[in-house]
Structure 1
Amino acid sequence: MDAALALDIGGTKLAAGVVTADGRIHGFTVEPTRREEGPDVIIPRLFELGRRAMAAAPEAAGGIRGVGISCGGPLDAAAGVLTGPLHLPGWIDIPIVDRARDEFGLPAFLENDATLAALAEYRHGAAAGSGSSIYLTISTGIGGGAVIDGRLHRGAAGNGGEFGHITVVRGGRECLCGRRGCLEAYASGTFIGRRADELIERGELETHLTAPTTAEHVARAAAEGDPLASVIWEETVELLGQAVTDFVNILEPEVVVLGGGVTRSGSQLLDPVRRIVAGGAMGPAARAVRVELAGLGDAVCAVGAGVLALDATV
């Protein structure tokens, strides 16, 4: 069967698997990134993870045609180089495609992780069957990707779809990208926890939370009626919902897919975002957009990497 080896380089985890043409992932294997180790240690571990995934899926590994690599940007997909991913400090101008090609003796391909997640959900996940869709990953950071009229949007240099870096609060919180007021600086898992910690330190609102917190802690506490957590969560979903509405009004997709660790809160996040989009989208088609949770779970970027390699080696 036709297949591709998929490698996903995240800020907190590395993942590998063998993706077949039906979108299924076999031998999916995950381990911590331990990004403090740097690329000279992490990349060999990533490749070893790939070999372990192939060994765990011998029925699919025999059909591998290429290697797909998923990573956050900035990167140069055409050159196959990680130019300086924000989630991987010190990874400057890493020729990851050349290294993967030399390691596995197969053609290798690189793409932004959120862009690949958008492709995976469009082909095999919650947006399957649509003509146009948007994907947002709401996790450590916020990224995204779009498929417009059946074509993956990459941008001029392959870094399009940075949906987490639109301004939602003018002059607001400083984002890790260096700008102020980005969606990521409010609605990402990192900043949900950070905002809660700041309010805890100020001591102005009642709460049973103690610092340091996580987005999961905040969501759970908000669901239980914790006053401080409720303030953080309500601001989070409001800003996220308004941002999604902007994306819908600009691109008018059929489906918006929300994925990433923060979306494990389920309807607690999805329902208010849906209400905000329904109330703010312009025109009948935009108001009819479906807002859905991702269908491919933690393997979404790896599945997208596999699709990338399969498409490129037809």
Structure 2
Amino acid sequence: MTDHPVVASLELGGTKSIVSLTQDARILQQERIATGDRPEAVLGFLIETLQRWRKETPFAAIGIASFGPVGLNADREDFGYILNTPKPGWSNFNLLRRIRDSFDLPIGFDTDVGGAALAEGFWGASMGCRTHAYLTIGTGVGLGLVVDGRVHHGALHPEAGHVRLRRAPGDSFQGICPFHGDCLEGLISGPALISRAAGPVDQLPATDPLWAHVAHDLAEFLTTLLLITSAERILLGGGVALGRPMLLPTIHATIAQRLNGYLRDCAPADLQKRIRFAGLGANAGPLGGSALALQGLRSQ
């Protein structure tokens, strides 16, 4: 293998799926399709696109970064599957086998947030960190955690979007998660915000009380995350997070107040460096697939 191989990336998100051809952090080609509720139609488009590109630009490996939950234990029968997901039509779909049946290449496979966290360590705002996390807030809420250059797995993988929180005083929103109601995802995901506001939130002023509740919920979760993981860096990504930069100062101040001096390097000024937006921006997801492809290639 060369030091800078061309690889293919598949990022399956809750709203859209993106197929890319990359070399390091450079995107050479890219197309996208609405994820929808028909897995075979989506995978058919992604595979046909890769087969077309491969005729012109051979690539060395494929990385699959998928919304979850997904089976990541190679010793289990559900390895490579999308498991019991709120996404209609995708539960118990064997994603990895669908790609393996079409390509005889090394394949890296993980969650979309795991891949994005890995990419931020390779090329983005977590470079040089041993322990770092990536929290995406969009159609859903997910967490990828990297320890010593590897995405963390356990019995499954982090499902931090379904953590329950202490609620902000006066916030009576019931949440929309079909499994847990007012978990983090049920409170601050894109669909949750639309439900809270009873309509689009793009035009809501920064002074709207909704944003104070969102900042509270995020600060509550991030405080817990710092205490549990001691992450050197936590990056925020996804359409909801990247579109709300005005929330960060409030989040930093609230976290510092919650910690009350217990952890070092957690004053608001320290937290500005430690908790910030993803360095790769909207490309963190697609490049997550690329990072997984590189790991798959190197492990083989």
Q: Report the TM-score range of the alignment, normalised by the length of the smaller protein.
A: 0.7 to 0.9
2:127 counterpart residue number: 128
1:193 aligns with 2:173: no
**Greater shift in the superposed pair: 100-109 or 117-126:** 100-109
Q: How many corresponding residue pairs?
A: 280
Distance in 2, matches of 1:30 and 1:53, equals 14
CA deviation after TM superposition for structure 1 residue 172, in Å: 6.8
Percent identical: 31
1:295 aligns with 2:292: no
Q: Structure 2 unaligned runs (5+)?
A: none
CA contact (8 A) 1:136 1:257 kept: yes
1:200 counterpart residue number: none
The alpha-carbon distance between structure 1 residues 162 and 92, as it changes in their structure 2 partners (threshold 3 A), is closer
1:233 counterpart residue number: 211
* Partner SS state of residue 125, structure 2: coil
More relative contact order, 1 or 2 (CA 8 Å, 6+ apart): 2
CA deviation after TM superposition for structure 1 residue 149, in Å: 3.9
* Partner SS state of residue 245, structure 1: helix
The residue identity in structure 2 corresponding to 1:8 is: E
2:220 counterpart residue number: 242
What are the superposed Cα offsets for residues 188-216 of structure 1, whole Å, 9 maximum, x if unpaired?
1111110111xxxxxxxxxxxxxx324xx
1:167 aligns with 2:168: no
What are the superposed Cα offsets for residues 140-179 of structure 1, whole Å, 9 maximum, x if unpaired?
111011123443212223xx22221110147972442411
Distance in 1, matches of 2:238 and 2:104, equals 32
2:136 counterpart residue number: 137
CA contact (8 A) 1:133 1:253 kept: yes
**Greater shift in the superposed pair: 299-308 or 75-84:** 75-84
**Greater shift in the superposed pair: 93-102 or 182-191:** 93-102
**Greater shift in the superposed pair: 248-257 or 176-185:** 176-185
Greater per-residue helix proportion? 1
CA contact (8 A) 2:108 2:294 kept: no
CA contact (8 A) 1:26 1:53 kept: no
CA deviation after TM superposition for structure 1 residue 277, in Å: 2.2
> TM-score, normalising length from structure 1?
0.81
Compute the RMSD of aligned alpha carbons. 2.2
> TM-score, normalising length from structure 2?
0.85
The alpha-carbon distance between structure 1 residues 277 and 123, as it changes in their structure 2 partners (threshold 3 A), is farther
* Partner SS state of residue 313, structure 1: helix
CA contact (8 A) 1:121 1:296 kept: yes
**Greater shift in the superposed pair: 254-263 or 289-298:** 289-298
Distance in 1, matches of 2:244 and 2:90, equals 34
Q: For residues 141-152 of structure 1, what are the structure 2 equivalents within 5 Å?
A: 141-152=140-151
CA contact (8 A) 2:138 2:240 kept: yes
CA deviation after TM superposition for structure 1 residue 107, in Å: 2.9
The residue identity in structure 2 corresponding to 1:25 is: I
Q: Structure 1 unaligned runs (5+)?
A: 198-211
